[in-house]
């Protein structure tokens, strides 16, 4: 254990970078519930998934036992272009808040996709290329995942077809242009290009879209196009596996200075960032080696953990995907226009859902205007203009640090700063102009969506 001064930013050396992804499921006694065939309600087999997903990724998806997957050399090379990401000691924020808490954040925004999404995008593109595919299809909410996948596909010379949630497409005109720079094609969803898109548009003509709709369109496009598969930026086990680089790097950096966090906080849409950040820490907790508090932060407008139910549900609005057991609001829940586009998903990672269900993790929901207050405060104090999604974690990190001020406790707080908000300035503008509302679904609304959950014994 080193005892020297902790720098503002801790960068690992290349030698210290993770060489393998960590599979949290291997240390879970109660494994996440398996994906089910929507027709037979039997666990999905690898061969059933092969029409939708890439082979190498299916193996990772279904493997609940292997603790470490070596990271292929080509991916390690790409990681070295933009990783390690810095672990930042938020000295300025601590001082401004006057808190005795010690605050750290793992900042994943220093790459052109602007977020952590690139960690899984490059892995998924690699396995698609390895399988000899022509290209991949996907959906994107805030646009970060689509940008990340465009970059990854460009690197491996794969075709990339992105369905972008319509409200994000309209709020973020420049995101499309970044994806185009990397050679991707981008379609606002729901679209008239797919059967499921046409159906959703017929039923909800004015819809601003949702991740659930866009997933359905991307899956349909993949299964009906020769040499294409579908890839997804969150929710799935494989994505949490790839994102474990966030937590592994953060843990090594903290270990180098003998620091142990008390509270670990991440925003949660589908769960990719949170699952990746907490992975090695949760592993220690599951193995009984250490204890940590974990807090998932979700928007009050789309509160899967805090107001959803733990049940089997469709992953997409069009019901073309397998059933997953997760905390869900119902697959046809379409949140009100919410500027944190990346957190608009109706469900939550099965792995995180099981951990939450077992009481190993907490969850809170926060209102959008409170989130933007925290975002602006953080931008001014720490110099990084955060993505609205990331600012959910900032909000709760600040709240916890203020509690420490009140109690005098010197807790160590680690949170995930998933990305930057440079393409979210329309949302910031509304906030500045006082035109931002807090959308909170009523109990009646949620009950109505819940009543449509599939019946699984």
- Per CB under 8 A, residues contacting its own copies are 5, 7-9, 11, 13-14, 77-78, 80-82, 92, 110-112, 114, 151, 154-155, 173-174, 177-178, 180-183, 376, 379-380, 382-385, 420, 422-423, 425-426, 428-429, 432
Nearer to its own copies, 114 or 303 (CB): 114
Nearer to its own copies, 111 or 390 (CB): 111
Minimum Å distance from CB 323 to its own copies?
Answer: 37
Nearer to its own copies, 81 or 447 (CB): 81
Nearer to its own copies, 426 or 447 (CB): 426
**Number of neighbouring beta carbons within 10 Å of residue 373:** 16
User: Distance between CA atoms of 389 and 270, rounded to whole angstroms?
Assistant: 12
Going by their DSSP bridges, the two strands 87-89 and 9-10 should be labelled as: antiparallel
**Number of neighbouring beta carbons within 10 Å of residue 439:** 15
Minimum Å distance from CB 341 to its own copies?
Answer: 16
Minimum Å distance from CB 92 to its own copies?
Answer: 6
Joined together, the tokens standing for residue 228 give 């294409």
Nearer to its own copies, 45 or 174 (CB): 174
Residue 282 and residue 24 in contact, taking contact as beta carbons nearer than 8 Å: yes
User: Distance between CA atoms of 102 and 437, rounded to whole angstroms?
Assistant: 32
Q: How far is CA 379 from CA 32, 89, 93, in A?
A: 37, 15, 10
Nearer to its own copies, 111 or 168 (CB): 111
Minimum Å distance from CB 99 to its own copies?
Answer: 18
Provide the phi-psi class of 271: left if phi over 0, else alpha when psi is between -120 and 50, else beta: left
Q: Tell me if residue 142 falls in helix, strand or coil.
A: coil
Minimum Å distance from CB 220 to its own copies?
Answer: 27
Nearer to its own copies, 112 or 224 (CB): 112
DSSP 288-310: TS---EEEEEEETTS-HHHHSEE
As beta bridge partners, residue 293 has: 263
Q: Tell me if residue 224 falls in helix, strand or coil.
A: coil
Minimum Å distance from CB 308 to its own copies?
Answer: 33
Minimum Å distance from CB 432 to its own copies?
Answer: 6
Joined together, the tokens standing for residue 339 give 């500027």
Please confirm whether the linkage preceding 190 is cis (ω < 30° from 0).
yes
């Amino acid at each position: 254990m080193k005892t020297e001064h902790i720098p503002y930013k801790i960068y690992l050396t290349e030698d210290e970078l993770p060489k393998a992804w960590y599979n949290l499921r291997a240390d879970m006694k109660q494994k996440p519930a398996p994906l089910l065939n929507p027709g037979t309600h039997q666990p999905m087999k690898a061969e059933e998934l092969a029409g939708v997903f890439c082979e190498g990724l299916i193996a990772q998806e279904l493997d609940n036992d292997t603790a470490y997957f070596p990271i292929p050399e080509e991916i390690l090379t790409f990681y070295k272009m933009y990783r390690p990401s810095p672990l930042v000691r938020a000295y300025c924020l601590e001082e401004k808040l006057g808190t005795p808490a010690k605050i750290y954040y793992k900042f994943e925004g220093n790459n052109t996709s602007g977020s952590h999404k690139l960690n899984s995008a490059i892995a998924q593109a690699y396995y698609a290329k390895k399988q000899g595919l022509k290209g991949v299809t996907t959906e994107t909410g805030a646009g970060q995942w689509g940008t990340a996948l465009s970059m990854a596909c460009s690197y491996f010379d794969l075709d990339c077809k992105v369905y972008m949630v319509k409200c994000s497409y309209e709020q973020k005109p420049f995101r499309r242009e970044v994806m185009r720079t990397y050679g991707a094609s981008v379609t606002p969803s729901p679209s008239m290009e797919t059967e499921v898109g046409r159906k959703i548009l017929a039923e909800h003509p004015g819809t601003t879209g949702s991740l659930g709709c866009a997933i359905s369109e991307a899956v349909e496009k993949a299964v009906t196009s020769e040499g294409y598969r579908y890839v997804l930026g969150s929710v799935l086990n494989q994505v949490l596996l790839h994102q474990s680089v966030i937590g592994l790097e953060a843990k090594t950096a903290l270990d180098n200075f003998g620091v142990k966090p008390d509270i670990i906080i991440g925003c949660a849409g589908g769960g990719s960032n949170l699952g990746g950040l907490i992975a090695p820490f949760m592993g220690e907790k599951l193995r009984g080696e250490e204890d940590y508090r974990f807090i998932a932060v979700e928007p009050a407008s789309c509160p899967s953990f805090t107001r959803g139910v733990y049940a089997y549900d469709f992953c997409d609005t069009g019901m073309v995907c397998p059933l997953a057991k997760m905390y869900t609001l119902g697959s046809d829940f379409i949140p009100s226009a919410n500027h944190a586009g990346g957190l608009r998903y109706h469900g939550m990672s099965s792995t995180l859902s099981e951990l939450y269900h077992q009481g190993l993790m907490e969850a809170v929901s926060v209102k959008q205007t409170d989130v933007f207050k925290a975002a602006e405060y953080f931008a001014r104090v720490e110099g990084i203009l955060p993505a609205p999604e990331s600012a959910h974690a900032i909000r709760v990190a600040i709240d916890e640090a203020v509690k420490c001020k009140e109690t005098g406790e010197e807790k160590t707080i680690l949170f995930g700063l998933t990305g930057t908000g440079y393409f979210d300035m329309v949302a910031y503008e509304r906030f500045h102009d006082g035109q931002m509302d807090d959308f909170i679904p009523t109990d009646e609304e949620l009950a109505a969506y819940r009543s449509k959950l599939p019946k699984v014994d």
